């Protein structure tokens, strides 16, 4: 599609010439990739629903909507708006609380609040202490998301005793 329209392979954009042309062509290439991913999601959703109408579709996505859209071509707020998926699971695996909350703030600013019940926040336990994971879980309580997803559960199973602060937080969220 890009080659037909611009007569240039995407990997040759940098060789085009002036900066304005390079910026324009790169943004066009990114737009085409973003639209291709969304078109795939449309097709996938249609096929799954046609064959399994009761199926619940969820996708794991990058937690910052702008970064997801512009770097990874995951326009997940649009996927929610179009009803292509039932749930998104932002992989908010930040180890620092400030970065974790920054992702939450970006979602609050960039995704309409009416979609909060279609967000299941991904929370990591493999890369941080049980206390840190528990603190992050507690910070989700006021956000009215559909729930949370723990990654990776096998880390919890392997060391249940050391993760008791986190498990206690999970119990209090019910």
Q: What is the pLDDT of residue 79?
A: 98
pLDDT digits (tens), the chain, 174 positions: 766 666 666 665 566 666 667 777 788 889 999 999 999 999 999 999 999 999 999 999 999 999 999 999 999 999 999 999 999 999 999 999 999 999 999 999 999 999 999 999 999 988 998 889 989 999 998 899 999 998 987 776 666 666 677 667 766 655
pLDDT score for 170: 66
* Distance (Å, whole) CA 36 – CA 163: 41
Q: Where are the domains of the chain?
A: 1-55, 56-174
């Amino acid at each position: 599609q890009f080659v037909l329209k611009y007569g240039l392979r995407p990997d040759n954009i940098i060789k085009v010439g002036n900066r304005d042309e390079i910026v324009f062509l790169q943004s066009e290439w990114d737009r085409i990739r973003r639209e291709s991913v969304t078109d795939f999601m449309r097709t996938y959703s249609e096929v799954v629903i046609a064959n399994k109408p009761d199926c619940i579709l969820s996708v794991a996505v990058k937690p910052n909507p702008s970064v997801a859209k512009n770097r990874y071509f995951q326009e997940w707020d649009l996927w929610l708006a179009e009803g292509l998926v039932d749930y998104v699971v932002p992989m908010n695996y930040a180890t620092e609380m400030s970065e974790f909350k920054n992702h939450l703030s970006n979602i609050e600013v960039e995704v309409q609040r009416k979609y909060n019940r279609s967000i299941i926040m991904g929370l990591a336990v493999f890369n941080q202490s049980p206390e840190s994971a528990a603190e992050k879980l507690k910070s989700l309580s006021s956000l009215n998301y559909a729930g949370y997803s723990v990654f990776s559960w096998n880390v919890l199973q392997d060391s249940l005793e050391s993760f008791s602060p986190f498990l206690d937080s999970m119990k209090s969220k019910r």
